[in-house]
Amino acid sequence: MIEKTRQPNAGYDGSFVPSVQGLRGIAALSVLMDHFYDMPKGGVYDIPDPGFLPPLWLWLQSVINVGGHGVELFFMISGFLIPASLVRHGSLPRFFLDRVLRIMPVFVVLHLALFVIGPIVGYKFFRGIDLTGYLAIFTANLFFVQDALGLPIAQQNAWTLTYEWAFYIWFALTFSVWRIGGRMLAAPLILLGVACLLHWPITAFFCIGMLLSATGWRISIPGPLGLMAGLTCGVAMYASLVLFHPFVGLIPGLLLFAMVLAPDSGLARALSTPALQYVGKISYSLYLVHPFVLFPLQVIGLKLVAVGVDRWLLWAAFIVLGSLMSLVASAITYELIEVRLRRLLDGAVRGMFFRSLSKMEQSA
């Protein structure tokens, strides 16, 4: 039985959606899978080497290599959650403070670790770098403007945070201007958003989340049939991103996310299982931390293959150990940084910030 539901004016109210958290877990695992294929190919120090990736069937290479498109799932999720977050916070300063406390602690800790350890181990762009270049790359990556300045990306996955922050800023400004001055005043910002979509097509996946956040449209296909329908749409979306164009992937992506959001669909129930809920909870840490965990395993693998150890054995060990170590490291990072450090920052910064904001609002 297939049910399409649309509740007029029933937009997302900001409540917790288990299936969305499960989808976060799938997105992070998808990117992890891609690095199981990419990192064993070598080039750890930007020097050509044979790597330890064994000869794989073309179909298996294609399946694994699409994993990097898990970022489009993250974009859909952000497009869905951010509008309600902005409304819930009620002001731009409160909204952006929440985003900073959510995004920056893990990123900054890893950023500092990379720029301390990277020069010591001779990691990529640190080889032969002078102080000016070091400071330029450090600062540009800290503020997510490395691409605009033509500088190297430091953290392997942090490039997506540039898109995330650009979306936060664009949506918050557009929403605020629309409420104050109507559509005519917001038109330049809307046109800017359209131009960004045309220049960076993957950003169109934010629109899927925004559309389904603003409406009550969902697709509920219960049971195993719903799970199969969701998997089919997921495969179609990933295939479209690889074989065609991101805009083609929007159609299966929209259908996929509409099924994710329907609580009774087979797909939503599968995503709500305890294991995926936990991976979804630590997904942000997993997304940023796993390249740091895989790097030493990559170096060890390159050394072992050079002395004749079988590539299949090394690759299997890389996947198994990399998965376990990434999950453990992410769980620790989540607890220490996303929970405890954020709690400390929240108490220290938020109290001071809101006291100052209240005084400003009262004087105004």
Q: pLDDT confidence of 364, banded at 50, 70, 90?
A: low
Amino acid 43: pLDDT: 61
Amino acid 12: pLDDT: 84
In percent, the amount of the chain with pLDDT more than 90 equals 72
**pLDDT surpasses 70 at 46:** no
**pLDDT surpasses 60 at 5:** no
End-to-end, the C-alpha distance of the chain in Å comes to 57
Place of tokens 């400004």: 173
Q: pLDDT confidence of 7, banded at 50, 70, 90?
A: very low
Which alpha helices (H) appear in 145-214, and where do they start and end? Answer: 159-199, 205-214
Report pLDDT digits (tens) over 310-335: 999 999 999 999 999 999 999 999 99
> What average pLDDT does the segment 288-313 reach?
94
Q: In this structure, are residues 142 and 153 in contact, taking their beta carbons and an 8 Å threshold?
A: no
Report pLDDT digits (tens) over 207-261: 999 999 999 899 999 999 999 999 999 999 999 998 999 999 999 999 999 999 9
**DSSP assignment of 246-301:** HHHHHHHHHHHHHHHT-TTSHHHHHHTSHHHHHHHHTHHHHHHHHHHHHHHHHHHH
Amino acid 204: pLDDT: 97
Amino acid 3: pLDDT: 42
Q: In this structure, are residues 258 and 233 in contact, taking their beta carbons and an 8 Å threshold?
A: no
Amino acid 359: pLDDT: 66
Residue from 4, 43, 37, 49 nearest 254 by CA: 4
Q: What is the largest CA-CA distance in the chain?
A: 73
**pLDDT surpasses 80 at 155:** yes
Residue from 227, 320, 339, 324 nearest 272 by CA: 227
Radius of gyration of the chain (CA): 22
> What average pLDDT does the segment 131-157 reach?
93
Q: Which domain holds residue 203?
A: 3-363
Q: Which residues contact 244 (CB under 8 A, 6 or more apart)?
A: none
User: Token pair for residue 269?
Assistant: 């129930």
Number of domains the chain is built from:
1
> What average pLDDT does the segment 99-111 reach?
96
